[in-house]
Structure formats: C-alpha cells, structure tokens
Copies of this chain bind each other. A is one copy, B any other.
Amino acid sequence: MKIAILGTGMVGVTIGTKLVELGHEVRMGSRTATNEKAAAWVKTAGAKASAGTFEAAAAFGEVVFNCTSGSGAVEALVMAGEKNLEGKVLIDVSNPLDFSKGMPPTLFVSNTDSLAEVIQRRFPKAQVVKALNTMSCSVMVNPRLLPDTHTTFLSGNDASAKATVKALLSQFGWKREEVLDLGELSTARGTESLLPLWLRVWGATQNGTFNFKLVAAKPG
C-alpha cells in the first residue's frame, strides 16, 4: 500500500520504518522537500522509502498518518492540501499537548472537543481515525515489547476506514482482542484525555515503555 507519513519526529520515523519493513511504499512529508531528518530516514529505511513536502506525501499516500506534533497538526494538514486528503483514511496519532505552560504539558483542546474532531471538521472529506495516540511509538509498532497483552483504541465515523486501520494494526502485531473500537470520532475525547494520566505514570515510574490493558469481568 502507498502510505504517507506527515511528520519527521520519532513517531513518524518509527511508524514509517515499520511500514517499509512490512513492504509498504512510504513517503514522509515535511514542511520542505529537503528536510534533513526525512532525508536521513530515506537513506536508512531502504528502497521503498521516499520523502517530500507534506503535499507530495499526501498526494502519494492512499492512507495518511498524521504524526506531527498536535500543535502543528492542522497547519501541516493544510499544507498537505485538502484535495490530497479527500476520501482517504487519515490516521491521527497526534495529541493536543501544550508545552507552553511548563511540564507536564496540558491539553489545548479537551473535555468538550478533541483534536481529532477539530481535524475532521476542518477536512470533512477525509476519513479521520484516531488511533495509537495513547502510547510510546516503540509500543505502537511492536506491541509484543510488553510482557502481557494490552489495549489500543480506535475512534472514527467511518467503519471501512476503521477496518483499514485495524488491518494495519494487525500487521504491526496487535492481536484482534487487543483492539477496542470505541465508536464515533468524538470518543477520541476519551483517548486524548488519557494523556494527562499517561504523563503522570511516566513521571512516577520513569519508564515510558508501557501501556494500559483493559481488564473486564466476564459478563453474567
């Protein structure tokens, strides 16, 4: 599959690398066509990796991963071009973290809205699916890093878009029973809301390689 990665940070590099390993053609997008981090990634990731502007990447991809920082997400997507997102699955991995008020960061949108919904409203013809935003990127692409099963959440308004994301998650190594579809995109308010707890667990344990597992009583 042809996949666009928007963002050259650790999340973009980690997901991009995994997708190339899985045999996908991946184009990493950034502000300029000559981004150094993207160029370095292309060199190490191999023949199926390429780089370009946000626009070139989005035009290339059948599926688009938003791996930008939350605060830069809408601007990056505007640069990617509304037309290049039309009818495509847009997997939003970003979180609305605001680092301007000190650590730990707060959320610049929360409670009665979510960044995923902000993006969906701005790009109504994209099929936004919120996914993988509740863990470190090493865990996103390699869930078996952890010594137990654990849970990843999906939110989105389009069932076929969520099926596409589920298939990618399966390729990443997620077991079927580890993926919980929470429902429509507004449920991303829930997963984005996990960040304030995620950050405090990280602070208390000094270990960012973790995730949460849903443990439920058997019905009846």
Contact = CB atoms under 8 A, between A and B. Distances in A.
Interface of A: 101, 106-107, 110-112, 145-150, 153, 180-183, 187, 189-191, 193-201, 203-205, 207, 209-219
Given A182-B204, A197-B191, A215 B146 contact: yes
Given A204-B183, A204-B187, A146 B197 contact: no
Given A201-B214, A209-B217, A193 B196 contact: yes
B216 A209 contact: yes
A64 to B, nearest CB: 24
B148 A215 contact: yes
B215 A150 contact: yes
A107 to B, nearest CB: 5
A101 B111 CA distance: 12
Nearest to A112: B106
24 contacts: A106-B111, A110-B110, A110-B111, A111-B196, A145-B217, A147-B217, A150-B213, A183-B200, A183-B203, A187-B200, A187-B204, A189-B196, A190-B200, A193-B193, A193-B195, A201-B214, A209-B216, A209-B217, A210-B214, A210-B217, A212-B212, A212-B215, A213-B213, A213-B214
A219 B148 CA distance: 15
Contacts of A112: 101, 106
B110 A217 contact: no
Nearest to A189: B196
Contacts of A204: 180-183, 187
B217 A201 contact: no
Contacts of A101: 112
A191 B193 CA distance: 10
Given A111-B106, A111-B110, A189-B196, A210 B216 contact: yes
Nearest to A206: B219
Nearest to A146: B215
Contacts of A211: 215
A34 to B, nearest CB: 36
